[in-house]
Structure 1
Amino acid sequence: MAQAYMTETGSGGSGPERRGPRLRRLLDGWRGDRGIWRRGLILAALALLLALVMLLHAQIPNTIGNLGSLTETFLPWLVIGVPVLLVLALVRKSVTALIAVLLPAVVWLNVFGGLLSDKTGSGGDLTVATHNVNADNPDPSGTARDVAASGADVVALEELTASAVPVYEKALTSTYRYHSVQGTVGLWSKYPLTGARPVDIKLGWTRAMRATVDTPAGSIAVYVAHMPSVRVKLEAGFTARERDKSADALGEAIAHESLRKVVLLGDLNGTMNDRALNAVTAQMRSTQGAAGSGFGFSWPASFPMARIDQIMVKGIEPVSSWTLPRTGSDHLPVAARVKVDATRS
């Protein structure tokens, strides 16, 4: 006859110890606590404020240190506040705060949730890339080879120095038969370039250019631009006046472009959320936003926090968009595959 053996539990009872889910045990500890609704009102207010900043960022004024543009540059990172507030709400045992934390989470997903999905397609007839190579790049030749290895048909480089230009020309000449350098920006292409000229973005020196690229799928206008850097100053905050003025000038030039199909490549020192770039972004599509996977952050290369290096198109269909491996620059190169001829399958 089989015998049943019982074990003593730590509580003095018999039988195996049963443990419920941690969340259930936590909620059991809150039962009967009348303060769970009254506590955490400050946390709830902070959660509401976070949601409002995400939702109404366009209403934050730029009059004080360009605070609005600064917020919009790093807007996706505000999501960090959600888990922080969630943990504090649990520690504080506040149902009010827990419910309030749902608001910024929902708003963030509404604004940026679409970027989390993989929208990469297949096909296309042209690959383009852009890279701020950094004037202090210790290995320009290696950087050029790395970008060429991406297989891009058209490559834009920004922050070129006079001494480095011959190095890039030598390293890229075997892959790209045609090229033009205007000031501190340059364009290299496997296909013929015509009409290359500088574009005045109101800086007093050349940091933007335009050229026609005669691709097998048709002629396109390609703009290369390097907007002025934004600065954070103790006495003035986030200053971007020069960048904003240049963005307006670039937007005007693109708006008056005679060709219907346009590609913009460059370091714009601003994200697609930054209202200061509206003159450009209002008339063009981001390849990353339309056909990329994730945020595609490109700067700083050591720990990318923002996508300030942009590929934008008008009259052309984005197919895929991605970042390239790190080079000797403080920026990551970015690339995109596009469809110039919409009649092709």
Structure 2
Amino acid sequence: MAQIPSSARRTTRRFQQVDTVETGQGGDGRRDTGPGTRRADIRRAIRRAIRVGSRLGPWKRGLVLAALALLLGLVMLLHAKIPNRVGNLGSLAETILPWFGLCIPVLLAGALWRRSASAVVALLLPVLVWLNLFGELLSDKSNPGSDLTVASHNVGADNPDPTGTAHALAASGADVLALEEITPQAKVLYEKELANAYPYHTVQGTVGLWSRLPLSDTQPVDIEMDYGPLADTKPVAVRMAYTRALRTTVATDQGPLAVYVAHLGSARVNPRAGFWTVSRDRGAHALGKAIAAERNERVVLLGDLNGTMDDRAFADITSQLRSAQEAAGKGFGFSWPAKFPVVRIDQILVRGVQPKSSWSLPATGSDHLPVAAGISW
């Protein structure tokens, strides 16, 4: 038999190796399906999808992003229509409503990456809606020359340094100071530490008011507290003190000023109850009725209301009073939690007086930031 020259055998082997690499088959004719090959297949599929997508026009690319942008805008625009029947979803959405704006730059980045004209145009809706809702809060609306400075602070039942908190509040310069979540043990301490700066004060249950000006007509306000499934989350001293709101009259040089101090029920995201606000909402309604019955035209409400004023639950209050932060502050004025505030649940609301400025005070031992405002007649 004739022998094949060695040079020809080498050439034949090279062709066989090339054929094996190109076809992905081993010497036994089977296709290689190892992890490396599967990853290569996935990469090729992604490249093909990108090539197909890039062949679409800029108005046909990114339609999913465009739909998400329109949905975001509609959610913010129609937030009042989101029902509360399931887990109090409407109130939850309104509580975090400003933070929906963070979705806009995320969608914009996706639209630019996809070079989608339709998604960029669709983003105009959420941008305009967000600016309409919150654009005014970005500017500084404060003015000098207030006649009276008021402040409010949830001092915290678990505050490890109530003495330091009292000293910081006394040094704030506030003429009228409201405190919430006062325990019986801390009550004596606050009365002692604030006595020099504030000769007049009243404490009703867990809320109190300290003033440089005389007080009169002080009485508790029934806001119908009920902790429900959260009853075990609060200290006994706080749970046992039923009175969490008061009304008093401050004698000013310009006439009497009705001042309300309130600490409404908690709002919590609970696995069983969803966004649980039953007690808070009941208290907000009762407080709104008390303010509606107030005969004094000049009213200030100070307190931890455990909710933002965008929440529909406070309609009975916001229909009568306006927020000092929105009228004369800068930014959102977030007050809770103190270490990294994300919502403003500590409020100063007014009627019959002019807010001149509004701001947050430095953190104390509480998990809330104190808030203050200057008002004028």
TM-score interval for Structure 1 and Structure 2 normalised by the shorter chain: 0.7 to 0.9
Specify the alignment match of 2:371 in structure 1.
334
Which of 183, 186, 191 is the equivalent residue of 1:164? 186
Distance 1:124 1:336 in 2: 9
SS in 2 for 1:225: strand
2:137 partner letter: L
Which of 200, 214, 223 is the equivalent residue of 1:178? 200
1:328 partner letter: G
Distance 2:368 2:118 in 1: 43
Distance 1:33 1:334 in 2: 56
Give the drift of 1:120: 0.4
2:131 corresponds to 1:94 = no
Which of 293, 299, 310 is the equivalent residue of 1:256? 293
The RMSD of aligned alpha carbons is 1.1
2:289 corresponds to 1:267 = no
Distance 2:302 2:293 in 1: 17
1:242 partner letter: S
SS in 1 for 2:123: helix
Distance 2:351 2:110 in 1: 46
For the Cα contact (< 8 Å) 1:125–1:217, is it kept in 2?
no
Distance 2:346 2:93 in 1: 18
TM-score of the aligned structures, taking structure 2 as reference length:
0.80
Q: Deviations over 1:19-68 (max 9, x none)?
A: xxxxxxxxxxxxx9533221211111111111011111011111111111
Distance 1:202 1:65 in 2: 22
Moved more, 249-258 or 32-41: 32-41
Specify the alignment match of 1:215 in structure 2.
252
Distance 1:322 1:299 in 2: 14
2:252 corresponds to 1:230 = no
Q: Deviations over 1:120-164 (max 9, x none)?
A: 012121000000011000001111111111100000000110111
After TM superposition, the runs of 4+ consecutive aligned structure 1 residues lying more than 2 A away are: 32-36
**What are the within-5 Å matches in structure 2 for residues 96-135 of structure 1?**
96-135=118-157
Distance 2:295 2:272 in 1: 43
Give the drift of 1:105: 1.0
Which of 53, 56, 60 is the equivalent residue of 2:82? 60
SS in 1 for 2:334: coil
SS in 2 for 1:143: helix
For the Cα contact (< 8 Å) 1:193–1:213, is it kept in 2?
yes
Specify the alignment match of 1:200 in structure 2.
222
2:72 corresponds to 1:50 = yes
Percent identical residues: 63
Moved more, 265-274 or 94-103: 94-103
Q: Which runs of 5+ in 1 are unaligned?
A: 1-31, 341-345
TM-score of the aligned structures, taking structure 1 as reference length:
0.88
Distance 2:269 2:276 in 1: 6
Distance 1:336 1:153 in 2: 10
Which of 79, 82, 92 is the equivalent residue of 1:70? 92
Give the drift of 1:93: 2.2
2:177 partner letter: V
Distance 2:112 2:138 in 1: 27
2:183 corresponds to 1:146 = no
Moved more, 199-208 or 217-226: 199-208
1:291 partner letter: A
2:355 partner letter: P
Structure number with bigger Rg: 2
Which of 345, 348, 355 is the equivalent residue of 1:318? 355
Q: Deviations over 1:239-262 (max 9, x none)?
A: 101111110000000110121111
